[in-house]
Amino acid sequence: MIRNIQRSGILMLIIHSVLLLTASAQHVQNEAISKRSRENFDAGWQFHKGDIAMKRAVKAGKYGGLTDSKVKVITGEDTTIAYSDKNKVAPFKSSDWTMVNLPHDWCVEGAFVHDNTIGSQPAANGYLPVGIGFYRKEFAIPETDKGKKISIEFDGIFRNSTVWLNGHLIGNHQSGYTPSNYDLTDILRYGNEGQNVILVKVDATDYEGWWYEGCGIYRHVWLIKTGKLHVGRFGTYVTTPAVSGSEAVVDIKTTLQNEGKVIKNITLTSKIIDGKGTLLNTQTSTQTITPFNEVEISQKGGIQRPLLWSPESPNLYKILTEVKENGIIIDNYETTFGVRTIEVTNAGVFLNGKLYPIKGTANHQDFAGVGVAVPDKINNYRIKLLKEMGCNGYRSAHNPPTPELLEACDRLGMLVLDENRLLSSTEDGMKDLKALLYRDRNHPSVFMWSLENEEPLQGNITGTRILETMVHITHSIDPTRPVTTAMNHGWNDSGYSDLLDVTGYNYGQRDMQYVKDHEKFPERKMFVTESTSFVSTRGEYEDNREKGYVSNLGNGVGWGMLPGKDWEHIVQYPYLNGMFAWTGFDYRGEPTPYEWPCVTSHFGIMDICGFPKDGYYAYQAAWTNKPVVHVFPHWNWQGKEGQKVKVQGYSNCDEVELFINGRSAGKKQVVPFNRFEWEVEYQPGKLEARGYKAGKAIAKEITETSGAPAQVVLKSDCNVLQADGCDVAIINIAIKDAKGRLVPTANNLVKFTIEGPGRIIGTGNGDPSSHEPDKANQRKAFNGYCQVLVQTDKTAGEIRLKASSEALKSMEAVLITE
């Protein structure tokens, strides 16, 4: 009997131990199921340019639809994609598809066509044809992911995208600028169930704007895995309602979703950490969440002696969100934010309590070589170039930007006017607006929302009703930031401006509209949402209609202003708060004042590669404390010896003296924000400009007549890159003479060869009338410069890029990837 009892006890102990081990294993399994992952899904896509006539066969008990013959369904039967080829239907062939990594813009890969019907107006799309394309990707999901919620996030597809997974229609998204998200959980195949195929149709035949918009999946794609209980999409909202030198109050709102079948009792922990990773504050809340429900949990934390965010000191903090059940983390989420105060008044913008006028540029999203599929590194590069000019503000014209652009502005320091695409209160319009607001409202760089740009309905009664709905939605989702619109008419009609926190003026200098309105409405808060529109072609000093070039010595377009003159208005009328010059960079499409052969605009302060034009120095002189003196044109005018030549310039000195071969041509008093000019006799040699402050020379610029092209000189923005398949080196090429002087008229063809773990992803030269392909291993220089973009592979090593040109000395750049 005693032995039986002992045996029974031992048996119970064994059973108990097994149960504990099983529970522990289940606990570990649940923890593995629950943790969030956000996987970059850019690599390994196939692309087909052209439409596909899709043949859908649905049979009882079998999958039907749009997968392909390589994919075995559970029943073992194949399914196919059919495609249209001269009205014949054929099965899927891999040879019809090319391998691509995202982001991808197929439009920039096309050939230019002299067809004014492309786009919303003549030349709008830069004479590059649009169309329809398909993307597909095969991928596996492990058996261990069963029970998770799995979704896919497309940051941006231009445009009208339709998504299928394993033959099942998942959804459609019209906008080319807002993100789209689809739940894949139920349709995925797990483990031995087979491969998955996602298919995306992109129909870019319609347009949303009147500029180059590209074609394709041109922003990042993410595969997101969470447990059934998780932080919602864009599920945190962080504000700092009270800020002082000693403390910042941090309000945290977190939306949690329970997509499971059981009640969840959870603990929400929000940790505030600084830029060094130091834990500053922890807030904990408990909550019961019923099945298929969501809740918003509010918490209040604090930061002692906060480091404030500004463009000069872009200090950042993070909220680390942990959702726990029974002490186990089932979801985690990260939110970057900054501590700052900003107020737009009728007496100026105040950032962190100090007057801070906005020195801004408006910008489209494309770049040389890559179109709208801009690598993250190039977004960083563009922001750095703008900051070097003295810029502190960026307007995302005329659409929501890519998330990585805002992350660069947060990290590098740039205030952003975040712009919605369309004036619309339709269901789709509201979805797009809400996506913009929820996605971007935690960014400290975003200081104001723009709900539309130059819409025909602005200022009439219908537009006013639409705007009222949009303003209400915006204030309800984010009450911390003011709302504006970028208007070019109708400021005082139908109560339109009365709905806005700040009235935006595009080209309000015409008839001095904003000055008249200030006198009539002295309490109105104003902003110059768009100014300047000065047109010029880098390095050109004569108008040339045949080539499509515009002189830097000219006066621009009728509705615009000379570079720097727009800033003079901000100084004269501080109630205007600041401005966004049109534009920081040239962009494809909308060539003005000429159309063909032009394929890009001339509005940029820099060209499409980021090479400065002469007007750049007007803004640098106005916006920085650095002594600036710049005169132009170049000094290579063979055949014009003894003829009169205009020399113009910009400076922030008191006066500038011009010397030709050491002989003074006289001094000019500098009127701030204005261009000065001499007319001199051209003689080859040295052109020197000296800037004086209080009678003392503090700046100079020397331009010399160069010899013939003799060498190719490379300069990379970096020497070390990440071997992640994404990082990019921007390599600028200059054509110089034997003495190392730039040849400002050089147009030599430069050829590139590359060795090592990298590839050329694009080229450019800033020529608005160049019809050369951007995707090539060669490029002509334009007025002395061209550019090549090199992207890394995922292998560490050494990349060698050689640039050579016939009869010139070549040069090699060495890049280390690690």
**Rounded mean pLDDT of 267-294?**
98
Q: Report the sign of the C-alpha dihedral through residues 150, 322, 258, 266, in that order.
A: positive
Q: Is the pLDDT of residue 263 over 60?
A: yes
Task: Give the CATH number of the domain where residue 216 resides.
Answer: 2.60.120.260
Give the β-pairing of 358-363 and 393-396: parallel
**Rounded mean pLDDT of 671-695?**
97
pLDDT tens column, 173-213: 999 999 999 999 999 999 998 889 999 999 999 999 999 99
Q: Is the pLDDT of residue 513 over 90?
A: yes
Q: What per-residue string of b and e applies to 503-531 under the rule 16 or more CB within 10 Å gives b?
A: bbbbbbbeeebbbebbeebeebbbbbbbb
Give the model's pLDDT for residue 87. Answer: 39
**Rounded mean pLDDT of 346-366?**
97
Q: Are residues 59 and 129 in the same domain?
A: yes
55 band by pLDDT with thresholds 50, 70 and 90: low
Q: Which among 670, 704, 738 is the end of a domain?
A: 704
Q: Report the sign of the C-alpha dihedral through residues 713, 719, 724, 726, in that order.
A: negative
Q: Which among 205, 226, 247 is the end of a domain?
A: 226
Give the model's pLDDT for residue 480. Answer: 98
Give the model's pLDDT for residue 191. Answer: 95
Q: How far is CA 728 from CA 215, 376, 381, 566, 722, in A?
A: 22, 8, 10, 35, 9
Is 22 contained in some domain?
Answer: no
Q: Are residues 772 and 695 in the same domain?
A: no
Give the model's pLDDT for residue 92. Answer: 60
Q: Are residues 407 and 549 in the same domain?
A: yes
Give the model's pLDDT for residue 95. Answer: 77
Is 8 contained in some domain?
Answer: no
Give the model's pLDDT for residue 94. Answer: 72
Q: How far apart are CA 451 and CA 485, in angstroms?
A: 5
DSSP secondary structure, 103-116, as one string: S--SGGGS-----T
Lowest mean pLDDT among 32-41, 298-307, 485-494: 32-41
**Rounded mean pLDDT of 711-728?**
97
Q: Which residues pair with 663 in a beta bridge?
A: 660
Closest CA to 103 of 775, 728, 726, 762: 726
35 band by pLDDT with thresholds 50, 70 and 90: confident
Q: Is the pLDDT of residue 674 over 90?
A: yes
Is 2 contained in some domain?
Answer: no
Q: Which among 226, 243, 277 is the end of a domain?
A: 226
Q: Is the pLDDT of residue 33 over 60?
A: no
Q: Are residues 485 and 460 in the same domain?
A: yes
Is 793 contained in some domain?
Answer: yes
Q: Which residue has the higher pLDDT, 729 or 95?
A: 729
Is 454 contained in some domain?
Answer: yes
What are the structure tokens assigned to 278, written together?
């130091």
**Rounded mean pLDDT of 369-378?**
98
Q: Is the pLDDT of residue 66 over 50?
A: no
Q: Is the pLDDT of residue 91 over 90?
A: no
Q: Is the pLDDT of residue 257 over 70?
A: yes
**Rounded mean pLDDT of 643-665?**
98
Lowest mean pLDDT among 7-21, 524-538, 752-766: 7-21
Give the model's pLDDT for residue 5. Answer: 38
Give the model's pLDDT for residue 664. Answer: 97
716 alpha carbon, distance to own chain's centre: 22
Is 58 contained in some domain?
Answer: yes
**Rounded mean pLDDT of 30-58?**
77
Q: Are residues 608 and 728 in the same domain?
A: no
Closest CA to 584 of 559, 563, 615, 605: 605
Task: Give the CATH number of the domain where residue 741 resides.
Answer: 2.60.40.10
Lowest mean pLDDT among 116-130, 143-157, 258-272, 794-808: 116-130
Q: Is the pLDDT of residue 71 over 50?
A: no
Q: Are residues 390 and 421 in the same domain?
A: yes
What are the structure tokens assigned to 760, written together?
């050329």
**Rounded mean pLDDT of 393-419?**
98
pLDDT tens column, 96-119: 889 999 999 999 999 999 999 888
Q: How far apart are CA 732 and CA 730, in angstroms?
A: 6
Q: Are residues 697 and 643 in the same domain?
A: yes
Give the model's pLDDT for residue 54. Answer: 63
Is 346 contained in some domain?
Answer: no
Domain count, the chain: 5
Of the ranges 49-63, 156-170, 390-404, which is most confident?
390-404
Q: Are residues 284 and 200 in the same domain?
A: no
Give the model's pLDDT for residue 58. Answer: 41
Q: Are residues 541 and 586 in the same domain?
A: yes
Give the model's pLDDT for residue 559. Answer: 87
Q: Are residues 447 and 371 in the same domain?
A: yes
Decide: 410 and 444 in contact? Cβ < 8 Å: yes
What percent of the chain stands above pLDDT 70?
91
Q: Is the pLDDT of residue 296 over 90?
A: yes
Task: Give the CATH number of the domain where residue 542 resides.
Answer: 3.20.20.80
Q: Are residues 493 and 471 in the same domain?
A: yes
Q: How far apart are CA 218 and CA 175, in angstroms?
A: 13
Which residues are catalytically annotated?
Answer: 454, 530
Matching residue, tokens 């989702």: 477
Residue-range definition of the domain harbouring residue 771:
711-817
pLDDT tens column, 591-608: 999 999 999 999 999 999
Number of CB atoms found within 10 A of residue 23's CB: 10
What are the structure tokens assigned to 807, written together?
């009869």
Chain length of the chain: 818
**Rounded mean pLDDT of 701-724?**
98
**Rounded mean pLDDT of 147-165?**
97
What are the structure tokens assigned to 118, written together?
């492309």
Is 253 contained in some domain?
Answer: yes
Give the model's pLDDT for residue 372. Answer: 98
Residues 6 or more apart whose CB falls under 8 angstroms from that of 131 comprise 49, 50, 204, 205, 215
Decide: 235 and 258 in contact? Cβ < 8 Å: no
What are the structure tokens assigned to 687, written together?
């052109």
Give the model's pLDDT for residue 96. Answer: 80
Q: Are residues 426 and 502 in the same domain?
A: yes
Q: How far apart are CA 584 and CA 606, in angstroms?
A: 6
**Rounded mean pLDDT of 108-132?**
94
Q: How far apart are CA 138 and CA 127, in angstroms?
A: 34
Matching residue, tokens 């820099």: 606
Rg (C-alpha) for the chain, rounded Å, is 30
The sheet with strand 797-804 has its strands ordered as: 720-721, 811-817, 797-804, 749-755, 778-780
**Rounded mean pLDDT of 40-53?**
92
Give the model's pLDDT for residue 34. Answer: 54
Q: Classify burial at 479, counting beta carbons within 10 Å of its beta carbon; exposed 0-12, middle 13-18, buried 19 or more.
A: exposed
Residues 6 or more apart whose CB falls under 8 angstroms from that of 742 comprise 706, 734, 735, 736, 784
Q: Is the pLDDT of residue 80 over 60?
A: no
Q: How far apart are CA 493 and CA 474, in angstroms?
A: 22
Give the model's pLDDT for residue 18. Answer: 38
Q: Is the pLDDT of residue 808 over 70?
A: yes
Tell me what the pLDDT averaged over the chain comes to: 92
69 band by pLDDT with thresholds 50, 70 and 90: very low
